Amino acid sequence: MQATYGSSYKLFHPRMQPFRDRVFAAVNTGLGLPDTQPFYWPTGGGSLGEGYQKVVRELLQTEDPPEYSSFSPERESLIRRVWEASKKWRFDYVEEAAKRTKEKGALGLQRLELFCSLGWSLGIPRNTVTISPEEIIQRCSDPEQALAMQIFLKWVTQCYHLNQARCFGTAINFPVYNIDQDFIIDTLLLRSPLDLPPEPSEGFPMRGRFSSAGCTCQGQRD
């Protein structure tokens, strides 16, 4: 891990230290199960940091939000507000964090360094090098900035999960995905009006109506 993340990498956030032995025990138990097939840290291709930097730049460093954010007027309005409020975070602080990542001998972008850039900009002392999302949000100047920061931190974390899933060849796990605030799954999975519809053999769209009596569905091929 230090070879990947740099010599300053620490295995556990201080808040996780009391659970250190439990984590090790859980991993050892899992590895000891007869059907366990562990996979290993990827060594071929680009690094995790390079992949993360690419995902963040592709999804967040654009002038306008992705078209899928216009799912509804309310959703479009909220995402556009956050998009404008986070412009400096998406560009300046991401690139600042990428520069520090490189300076310490790692590649690409580390989320830890991005958290530092955001926290330091809000007044957290620069000698603090492990900063949590909660600590960043607490430093926001008003409720509007706190809301924008909370949503932005979710976006960069979803980019992080997406990149890891790609590198490890596993499924994406977004335990918290709010359709009114988030857009990354939409960007990955939905097609725009300019895309060709799927072949009939690949499936067809379904419409469902829910009621207290149950659910009825109607399907029609494109």
Q: What is the pLDDT of residue 153?
A: 94
Model pLDDT, residue 204: 45
Given this model, what pLDDT does residue 3 score?
Answer: 66
CA 194 to chain centre: 26
In DSSP terms, 219 is beta-bridged to 206
CA distance 201 to 114: 44
Q: What is the pLDDT of residue 57?
A: 96
pLDDT, position 172? 74
CA 158/CA 183 separation, integer angstroms: 10
Positions in the chain short of pLDDT 50: 189-195, 197-198, 202-204, 215-222
Give the pLDDT score at 162.
86
Among positive and negative, which fits the CA dihedral 188, 190, 193, 194? Answer: positive
Q: Are 104 and 7 in contact (CB under 8 A)?
A: yes
Full-model pTM:
0.71
Q: What is the pLDDT of residue 104?
A: 87
Residue among 156, 207, 164, 204 nearest 184 (CA) = 156
- The full set of domain ranges for the chain reads 48-190
Cα-only R_g, the chain? 21
